[in-house]
Structure 1
């Protein structure tokens, strides 16, 4: 087995639980059973580079010169979020919802060269719960398509996103996770967003360090599926979908519920084959406190026929997966993708492969297991289905997103070990012991015990590992922390949200709470990630 040279040979569990102050502590290696654990492997200490790299500068200039114009990026909160806060906060004054402000955008490279000069755009606050923070994520909507820092192979797009990385003290979780996602999904022909850091100025005022990124949208250079012509109402189009706990906030045409094969119970995958644990995807009784998660349709649809078609397709595709995995039966769609019936002509595995791009699900599962994202059951879990002339007509999992609560930032897989993504997941409020609930992501669980599916996971992991994907991901954390240390310090001098973190500190894991600088937080992230890679490599490397 190939050895990942950054993986700790010591018990990283102890390191994680102690927190950031232990990151530079030396430990003796204990007896281990596997080749990987026997190796003398040390997570390197991250230090600031003597020569700091200057960030590109993205300048936002509002056309409005009113003295309160900056309210557009300081005050708005997503409507459904402020309504939720108001429901438990007496006297809470509902803030404005995010709104666009007319601006011009100038972008200068790290060498000072002008890449954009006064490009017309609109800017507004974006996001869900991240909109309550002082430093808010932003969306840029250009009047004309623009290339930004050569991201995504220089793709020219109107819409771009600035991620604030407010509750991730390292500011590197999204960038590292999306890098690994592009390496894994991209190698198999699927989409994941591209990112890079920029320094943002608003009306000449320093506004902090942001992560510039693609926006999750349908485009030939992003989520590449068939876009319908204006006013077209036929069903032979592409559908971009989010598995989303906020789905019920959408208009009826843009969302639908899931039945999960009549809420059939699933055997959770925790690696302990002696004990069997089952869970239903949805609440079983009216008194059970388990939030519903459905589908938000993120792409353009213009008819009830399109809505009903994709709702039926997704629900019946899941049923095909379930029947194959739990009843060893092969079900197939009719020619109109309306009804399904049992077939004796194909195997259950083939039945799944007829309607699901299984490789995309494998890749998405590996990313989900690698990152242990606390929101895995709730939102930012995307899939597509393309019924256009060139479309695969299969449910495809791609466009991963939103990793600021991942990789040890919340109390999930805190020692880096254990199966998580197909296991029981506590809700973001902490699980039943905190008055929350426990649930699962059914899409990641339903095939978990299929031998052929596990074989695909092992093959894909081994390929990515041997090609250095995870080593490069860790090096990204090291390199960015070293070369941008001055910029991180400047960002936190403005926002100081590592120390003044009352808005989100209860969400953080104990070791994450102890990190008081970006450098400490990055070291903790690197330590956690090496432990996680070590654990998964022992399970999957062939």
Structure 2
């Protein structure tokens, strides 16, 4: 009885002591406008995006949201947006999702907006590197593949998506480092070609085509995320409405079977499809579709013609040669395994010729992946990967056999090597990007979120990237110099 009474007195004294103690202050990272952040960025100068959606983020179409942009915890811009997930294979494989977003006004209407000094537009991208936590792998551990490739393209004078590194928080969850960049689209400040409307009398341009996996199409709008996580069949579902097929197989032979077969049919690897990117398929007239199909066919036929000694090759009547050379140079230098066969853009301006580019999507470029040796051309992809649903068209092997193309490539490569493609300039682009990310703590924060047993050694990834580029440049010097 006495022991119980003593215990009670002791407990009351302890409780009294606790209640009289000064409360402990819990530090919460906040902005100048009172926004509570998911993490503490310290004094990081890298822009920090806080996105709050009005509901679950879909694959398509998007959901309204509000985006606040902070720098050193100070609100610098606020914008209403419409956001959705993006990507095909990357969307399905990666736990770190990427996003498309459009800028809208308070009534939900599209509105052009400038971010970080970039030209006003309504369509933007937030690209994250691929991370698969279940299978413990990550593509582009450096986080800078796209930035380096796009920057090199811009420096040789060819438009590529412009952007910068940001960190992103969505609905209170920190998602890490992203590349905030422009969507590739027709615009005077992006892909600068003339507009083409159903009423246009001159239908010679402008067109944007894309050699790529097929788009799901508007008929899939509103389907649950679970559908898009497993809709691999849609990637190879080409139709006469959304695309057209080359008349020729990947070796330049005339195809003797009908286009638009079942998804992943056995002969798909022989086919090259051109998706209508701009105008959209539903905005193209039958005459416009026929025009661009015939133009591609005439170019391909001219490329397959035997050269006549002493005469310029006929294919030059159809293409902007420098655009083909520059597309080849950037994708080969960066060893973009997806180049030529997917994520490949082509344009034709009004009264102009067919042009390659802009370059896009380098998440399995540089030293990533093992499909192609580091000492061979990406255009030789077909020699190493048998019957992939998406193979490299015959164009590039024919071009690399042509004396005119080889001579122009040699001169252009030598010219760029003295400036934008010098090793010192390339290494400088890498160093400035890496220093920015490391010094502002972004790499540490990103991999605290996304390593989770993968075992990322960031310093090693940068060392490997630099070594790869040194070796690749040396190899290309030798190969192109001996043409």
TM-score (norm. length: structure 1): 0.66
3-state SS in 2 of match to 1:60: strand
**2:160 matched to 1:181?**
no
Q: 1:211 aligns with which of 151, 172, 179?
A: 179
- 1:58-73 counterparts in 2 under 5 A? 58-62=49-53, 64=54, 69=55, 71-72=56-57
- 1:118-517 counterparts in 2 under 5 A? 119-132=79-92, 133-143=94-104, 144-150=111-117, 154-166=118-130, 167-184=139-156, 186=157, 190-229=158-197, 232=200, 235-246=203-214, 249=237, 252-260=240-248, 263=249, 265=251, 290=269, 292-300=271-279, 301-323=283-305, 327-328=306-307, 347-349=311-313, 351-387=314-350, 391-392=351-352, 394-414=353-373, 416-418=374-376, 420-425=377-382, 431-432=385-386, 439-470=391-422, 471-485=424-438, 486-496=441-451, 499-500=453-454, 516-517=456-457
Following TM superposition, where does structure 1 have runs of at least 4 consecutive aligned residues deviating by more than 6 angstroms? 281-286
Structure 2 CA distance for partners of 1:347 and 1:533, relative to 1, 3 Å = same
Cα-to-partner distance string for 1:522-542 (whole Å, 9 max, x where unaligned): 221111111101111223359
Structure 2 CA distance for partners of 1:443 and 1:146, relative to 1, 3 Å = farther
Cα-to-partner distance string for 1:285-343 (whole Å, 9 max, x where unaligned): 996672533101100143111111111111111111221xxx1259xxxxxxxxxxxxx
3-state SS in 2 of match to 1:165: coil
Structure 2 CA distance for partners of 1:517 and 1:203, relative to 1, 3 Å = same
CA RMSD of aligned residues (A): 3.0
Residue 337 of structure 2 contacts residue 365 of structure 2 at CA under 8 Å; is this kept in 1?
yes
Residue 160 of structure 1 contacts residue 215 of structure 1 at CA under 8 Å; is this kept in 2?
yes
Structure 2 CA distance for partners of 1:179 and 1:52, relative to 1, 3 Å = farther
| Equivalences, count | 394
Cα deviation for residue 439 of structure 1 reads 4.5
Residue 52 of structure 1 contacts residue 482 of structure 1 at CA under 8 Å; is this kept in 2?
no
Structure 2 CA distance for partners of 1:290 and 1:183, relative to 1, 3 Å = same
Cα-to-partner distance string for 1:378-405 (whole Å, 9 max, x where unaligned): 3111110112xxx42x001121101111
Q: 1:532 aligns with which of 472, 476, 479?
A: 472
Unaligned runs of 5+ in 1: 1-50, 77-96, 267-279, 331-345, 501-514
Distance in 2 between residues matched to 1:283 and 1:465, nearest whole Å: 44
Residue 381 of structure 2 contacts residue 391 of structure 2 at CA under 8 Å; is this kept in 1?
yes
Residue 53 of structure 1 contacts residue 483 of structure 1 at CA under 8 Å; is this kept in 2?
no
**2:46 matched to 1:55?**
yes
Cα-to-partner distance string for 1:429-451 (whole Å, 9 max, x where unaligned): x734xx85894332322211222
Q: Which has the higher contact order (CA 8 A, sep 6+)?
A: 1
TM-score (norm. length: structure 2): 0.74
Cα deviation for residue 283 of structure 1 reads 9.4
Distance in 2 between residues matched to 1:413 and 1:487, nearest whole Å: 32
3-state SS in 1 of match to 2:121: strand
Distance in 1 between residues matched to 2:123 and 2:238, nearest whole Å: 21
Cα-to-partner distance string for 1:502-525 (whole Å, 9 max, x where unaligned): xxxxxxxxxxxxx72222222211
Distance in 2 between residues matched to 1:161 and 1:193, nearest whole Å: 10
3-state SS in 2 of match to 1:480: helix
Structure 2 CA distance for partners of 1:483 and 1:265, relative to 1, 3 Å = closer
Q: Which has the larger radius of gyration?
A: 2
Cα deviation for residue 231 of structure 1 reads 5.4
